[in-house]
Amino acid sequence: MRSMARSPALPLSSPGASYPTRQRTDSPQQEPSEGPGNFSRPFRVCALRCYIHRSPGLARHYRKCIRAQAAKSESLELVLDLKGKLLESPVWDGRLQKLIFVDTDGQRIYKYDPSTPDSLISVHLPEPVGFVGLTEVPDQVLAGMERRVVLVDLQKQAIISDVAITPEEHGADGHRFNDGKPGPAGVCIFGRKHESSETPDGQRGRVYRLDMGPSVIRGKLTEVMTPEETQLPNGMGWDMQKGVMYLNDTFMKEFEDTPGIIWEIQVDKQGVPARNASKQLKKRVVYKINVAKEGGPDGMTLDSQGRIWLALAKGSKLICVDPTSNTEVHRINMPIQMPTACAFGGKNLDELYITSTELGGGKGAGGLWRYTLEGLKGLSAAHVATIQSS
């Protein structure tokens, strides 16, 4: 699948004025500068502020204009108050102009049409469902449950077929698929976790690839990251111009005080993690997160500039990380404790949909949110290229 051409860079300056650029947590912290974090003319700003502060009337007018501009360029709204147990894995199907997402613990897949919100479609599954991925056939999606990956028809509201199953030696009780999605070349990559993975001594997860046969609903699972290489694999995204994928690991005990990790992993032409001659993954840490203070890195998506947008579960926020500078460049504060994942949608891919869980409470907890920011756009979701229904 061809990569989408990137649009001119989004400065994230005006709406992000209250969120200064912040260095990653493993680097010496810098004092945040006043005003927009990436403002390039600090002396002019100081002079302007001195002038404004001498005139109370002008100061009031200035603050009013700033508030009006912020309200115009940035918005956050609750679009579905589902009170879901654990909403996750949002993906926008541009062919249908609909958002598909799951309630993991509620064992449901939802299809949401923003133009007719009351026509929400729900499909119940027999097990918790960790992720959904688009296929070549609209309204047919892959779904990862405890051990099985299945093909689900959203119109028929039924499982069509089993696609793949994990080996018994990779665990059964307490395990389930977590996050995952098809990469740009159509190969589905997804992680699997244990319910104890978010503890220092918990069982560790794995990451798989799914290869589909050309004419049958049957796939082959291949492990691409071992328990020694990941603990709680979570959100992922690709930048094929750089030849990398990004992977959130919510809890890597090896990093002690900052166990939340964003990995950058070199991939092959299929978007699958690659290894060097010594069979080691070619990866680096993009960003470290103090889970106890900031929340755990959960689902992610990339915008058209290659920046990473990720939800911080238990942190009441999403952040945008620039993987080139390894810095946080924007933040979305939420009125709920547990945002879980995000995906770009809408006709122009300029709406960021955010899922959440009911845990932690707050108005809109367990609901679907929509965030817009002037100039912000995402990329089209990929789909598995070789699924065919019989």
Q: Kindly report, residue by residue over 301-330, the tens digit of the pLDDT.
A: 999 999 999 999 999 999 999 999 999 999
Amino acid identity of residue 266, one-letter, is: Q
CA distance 153 to 141: 7
Residue 24 within any structural domain of the chain: no
Query: Is pLDDT larger for residue 59 or for residue 77?
Result: 77
Instruction: Return the CATH number at 245.
Output: 2.120.10.30
Q: Is 63 annotated as a binding residue?
A: no
Report the predicted TM-score, pTM, of the whole model to 2 decimal places.
0.81
Does 7 reside within a domain?
Answer: no
Residue 178 marked in a binding site: yes
Place 60 in a pLDDT band, splitting at 50, 70 and 90.
Answer: low
Least confident piece of the model among 32-36, 85-89, 281-285: 32-36
Look at residue 155 and tell me if it is in a domain. yes
Q: For residue 343, is it within any domain?
A: yes
Q: What is the DSSP letter of 281?
A: B
Instruction: Classify residue 136: in a domain, yes or no.
Output: yes
**Contact 50/59 with Cβ under 8 angstroms?**
no
Note the pLDDT of residue 194.
84
Whether 382 is in a domain gets the answer: no
What number of CA atoms fall less than 13 Å from residue 18's CA on the CB side?
A: 8
In a domain, 34, yes or no: no
Annotated ligand binding at 88? The verdict is: yes
Q: Which domain holds residue 169?
A: 77-373
pLDDT digits 0-9 by tens, 361-378: 889 999 999 999 999 999
Mean pLDDT of the chain: 84
> Active site residue: 93, 139, 239, 298, which one?
298
Q: Distance between CA 327 and CA 137 in Å, rounded?
A: 39
Question: How many domains does the chain contain in total?
Answer: 1
Q: Is the pLDDT of residue 264 over 60?
A: yes
Number of Cβ within a 10 Å radius of residue 219: 22
Flag the least confident range among 106-110, 257-261, 277-281, 282-286.
257-261
DSSP 127: S
Weakest mean pLDDT among 208-212, 223-227, 235-239? 208-212
- For the question of residue 298 being annotated catalytic, the response is yes
Across residues 44-69, what is the average pLDDT? 54
| pLDDT at 37 exceeding the cut of 50 | no
31 assigned binding-site residue: no
Is 162 assigned to a binding site? no
Give domain status of residue 36, yes or no: no
Of 139, 140, 138, 163, the closest CA to residue 150 belongs to 163
Residue 321 one-letter amino acid: V
